[in-house]
Chain A
Amino acid sequence: DVKVTQSSRYLVKRTGEKVFLECVQDMDHENMFWYRQDPGLGLRLIYFSYDVKMKEKGDIPEGYSVSREKKERFSLILESASTNQTSMYLCASQPGQAQTEAFFGQGTRLTVV
């Protein structure tokens, strides 16, 4: 069974903290994505990676960075958390071929206080 696992369901962090969100997939997929979900705005792409150690900026990369040291793991980093980064974060993975399904994790709800 296909699985994308995000390390935390809920996180509460303080302003200015460095925050790590972890995502692991067990499907040997080449592509991995980090999205942010906010009401009325849908899913917005933060960063994506199509290979180990490769990364590309999405539509809203400011304030975030990513790391992909191994094929199965894609980490999202908030260098200095701010209250406007309070949101639901979704990780997804997808095979390298076009026109194929993307599989999502269950999401991490991050609150920055």
Chain B
Amino acid sequence: GENVEQHPSTLSVQEGDSAVIKCTYSDSASNYFPWYKQELGKGPQLIIDIRSNVGEKKDQRIAVTLNKTAKHFSLHITETQPEDSAVYFCAARLIQGAQKLVFGQGTRLTINP
């Protein structure tokens, strides 16, 4: 089955700097790659997603890139702000079957003022 690896497990950056989180997946049949943000005491919430027919997608300060050949995708956050501090999860979804999401291990991002 699908396996998703996420790095780093923790990341600390200065406010205003950029943060990058990387994920790799194992099943080339996966074609949907969402990123979720989980704030303290809350459930994960989708922040951006990308489909396999697209190489890059951007939404204001957040961007995701996908390399299907290498089977990896990354989350980029620019001009980081204190409210970006959270746990971030990447995920991959297979196109066959019941469309279940397989998640990475999570990255705890801390923005230092």
Contacts and interface: CB of A to CB of B under 8 A. Distances in A.
Interface of A: 4, 31, 33, 35, 40-45, 48, 50, 56, 58-59, 90, 92, 94, 98-99, 101-102, 104-107
B62 to A, nearest CB: 15
Contact of A42 (B45, B95, B100, B105): B105
A113 B31 CA distance: 42
B93 A42 contact: no
A101 B105 CA distance: 19
Contact of B95 (A44, A45, A59, A98): A98
B43 A45 contact: no
A42 B35 CA distance: 13
B99 A98 contact: yes
Q: Which of B1, B9, B98, B101 gathers most chain A CB within 10 Å?
A: B98
B32 A42 contact: no
25 contacts: A4-B43, A31-B99, A33-B101, A40-B106, A42-B4, A42-B89, A42-B105, A43-B106, A44-B103, A45-B100, A45-B102, A50-B99, A58-B100, A59-B1, A98-B93, A98-B95, A101-B34, A101-B46, A101-B49, A102-B34, A102-B101, A104-B36, A104-B43, A106-B42, A106-B43
A28 B9 CA distance: 35
Nearest to A54: B98
Given A42-B6, A42-B89, A48 B46 contact: no
A33 B42 CA distance: 17
B100 A99 contact: no
A41 B105 contact: yes
Interface string B39-63: 0011111100101000000000000
Task: Please provide the 4 A-B residue pairs with the shortest distance between their CB atoms, ordered closest to farther.
Answer: A104-B43, A43-B103, A42-B105, A99-B32
A99 B44 contact: no
Contacts of B36: 104
A12 to B, nearest CB: 17
